[in-house]
Amino acid sequence: MERISFYEQIEKNKRDSIFLVILVFIFLLALFYVISLIFAPELSAIFIIFAFIIAISYIFISYNYGDEIVLAATDAKPANEREHAYLINTVEGLSIAAGIPKPKVYVIESDEMNAFATGKDPAHSSIAVTTALLKNLNRMELEGVIGHEISHIKNYDIRFATLVAVLVGLVAIVSHMLLRSYRFGFRRERGERGAGLILIIGLILAIFAPIATRLVQAAISRRREFLADADAAKLTRYPEGLASALEKIMKMNMGKSMNVSEAVSHLFFVDPNRSPLDALFATHPPIQERIRILRAM
């Protein structure tokens, strides 16, 4: 089996992720442009500028308060310094090794083994782990998982993931608005050249853009997971710890949903939800593939 260096794996995932997030922007701009042509072609430039300002404002609000929303939605509680001393010390030690400030540490009461990182940058970040993860993983395995989440923070994946989630959400909102205009019988004047074609293009975009951007979101998240695995192995200098943790999670997790919104499920160490459409929309790569790559390093 061909061995892949830490740095090759990291650089490859970074290149792929940048390319995919550009595609999300393209879908969003295409929707805005078609809507402007349908509703007010003579004001299309002004419409697009106004829509862009609204989008930026929406992203800004989500960027600054997204971590608080995620922690509240998952019922994460601050780690107890006495009860969770080893967890806190592990987070602090790996943060020092990674050269970032120590994140806030939270614990989630759950029978499923999982973890996630959130925040807008390394100076404003948090890590949350489930009680089942603390109970069932040994020292090296826990360090592997925490190293994975620290890597998400160090690489600014937490910011990246939040912005992508917001953009995908905007595409869905705009598409829904366009579909509603068709539902209520909106039509351009029949004699206007190209009106029919624009309406058809708008309908196609409104239906397929949310599906396409969701696929892009899933692909972006999967690539960021591979990147964090590679960086965590570099940080701990022991890929087998993380591989063993993934193997144990694959065997021991019961597959029960943690009742986590799909909008934030991509933040978790492994997918917290199960769906018949996971083959298409899964936000995480197959655990077996993650293990295989780690053991090839």
pLDDT digits (tens, 9 = 90+) for 33-46: 777 777 777 777 88
The confidence band for 148, taking pLDDT boundaries of 50, 70 and 90, is: very high
Q: Rounded to an integer, what distance in angstroms lies between the CA atom of residue 285 and that of residue 297?
A: 17
Query: What is the strand order of the sheet 124-130 is part of?
Result: 77-78, 104-108, 124-130, 115-121
- The model's confidence at residue 103, banded by pLDDT at 50, 70 and 90, is very high
Q: What is the mean pLDDT of residues 81-92?
A: 95
Domain membership of residue 183 (yes or no) is yes
In a domain, 1, yes or no: no
Greatest mean pLDDT among 3-17, 190-204, 228-242, 258-272 = 228-242
Q: Decide which of 171 and 80 is more confident.
A: 80
Look at residue 237 and tell me if it is in a domain: yes
Specify whether the CB–CB gap between 119 and 157 falls below 8 A: no
Contact at 8 Å (CB) between 126 and 118?
yes
Average of per-residue pLDDT across 12-31? 70
> For residue 115, is it within any domain?
yes
Q: Which of 143, 149, 225, 247 is catalytic?
A: 149
Residue 104 lies in a domain: yes
- Domain for residue 148, yes or no? yes
Q: Is residue 197 part of a domain?
A: yes
Within-domain flag for 77:
yes
* Domain extent for 270: 6-295
180 pLDDT band (50/70/90 cuts)?
low
Return the number of other C-beta atoms located less than 10 Å from residue 49's C-beta.
Answer: 11
**Strand ranges inside 131-280, DSSP E:** none
* Residue 8 annotated among the catalytic residues of the structure: no
Number of domains in the chain: 1
The span from the CA of 196 to the CA of 165, in Å, is 33
Poorest-pLDDT segment among 21-30, 78-87, 141-150: 21-30
pLDDT for the residue 190: 45
Structure tokens, 76: 């994460």
Measure the CA–CA gap between 257 and 275, rounded to whole angstroms. Answer: 10
